[in-house]
Amino acid sequence: MPAQSNMLIDGPALWSDLMETARFGGTPKGGICRLALSDEDKSVRTWFAQTCEALGCTVTYDSMGNQFARRAGTCDALPPIMIGSHLDTQPTGGKFDGILGVLGGVAVLRALHSADVSTRHPIEVVNWTNEEGARFTPPMLASGVFGGAFTQEFARSRPDKNGITLRRVVS
């Protein structure tokens, strides 16, 4: 593992990722509507998984649909260093809220991969499901289950405005 004091994030690649993902749920006025587990959200989640897998990560999902892109560490049994946020938006969301936390994590993965740098701890980039809470209330349901604030049963029973529960649509 060589020392990398000059490793940088690839700004143009990060910008390209932001513009690419803005296509998923893009609105005519330049905003984003990507409600949790909608077709648009599922498309950007697929993009995230494929992008991370191309960088050598293993992508897993928990029972709430949270995505974890894991880059192994040299001591892989150590707790991971987690980076991330969410890919879902409000109905009139912007291009940068939430997703920048996920794509910033992808940029870190890309920098480490390009420089062939190993880390002691594994690195995990996480996409929390339904973080905005625009489709299923309250917000932060899936991260809340992960952190112990909500039970899985409570979170999975939450309906959207059409009566469809999170349980029904989570993969």
Tokens of 40: 């648009």
Could you give all domains of the chain from N- to C-terminal order, each with its CATH number?
11-132 (3.40.630.10)
- Which are the contacts of 18, defined by CB distance < 8 A and separation ≥ 6? 95, 96, 99, 100, 103
pLDDT at 2: 54
CB 121 within 8 A of CB 81: yes
For 1-41, write each residue's pLDDT tens digit: 455 567 899 999 999 999 999 999 999 999 999 999 999 99
HSE, side-chain direction, 13 A CA sphere, residue 108: 20
- Which are the contacts of 85, defined by CB distance < 8 A and separation ≥ 6? 98, 99, 100, 101, 102, 126, 127, 128, 131
Closest CA to 119 of 54, 71, 58, 156: 71
Pairwise CA distance, residues 73 & 71, whole Å:
7
For the chain, percent of residues with pLDDT exceeding 90: 92
Residue 158 has pLDDT above 80, yes or no: yes
pLDDT confidence band for 118 (50 / 70 / 90): very high
CB 37 within 8 A of CB 170: yes
